[in-house]
Amino acid sequence: MAKKTFEEALAQLQGIVEELEKGDLALEKAIRKFEEGMKLSRYCSDCLDEAEARLTRLTESGEEAPFSFETGPQEEA
């Protein structure tokens, strides 16, 4: 999945949910949409986990931690 912002991923996920809720997709297409939605859901969850960890570090230590909402979670070396 190409890097996208949390907001972009969430909007795309919401669109997939709306499509699936309509119930008019062929089974194979619905399964592909569901798989795509699961990947987006994990990505959004990872973004939120990283944001929560950053906020926790900031409030506990007063130091800034690396995170960009434009690029999503950052790998720590």
What's the CATH fold of domain 6-61?
A: Helix Hairpins (1.10.287)
pTM given for the model: 0.71
| pLDDT at residue 77, rounded to an integer | 40
pLDDT in tens, 7-36: 999 999 999 999 999 999 999 999 999 999
Q: Which residues contact 71 (CB under 8 A, 6 or more apart)?
A: 3, 5
| pLDDT at residue 60, rounded to an integer | 82
Q: How far, in Å, CA of 66 to CA of 68, rounded?
A: 7
Sequence ranges of the domains in the chain: 6-61
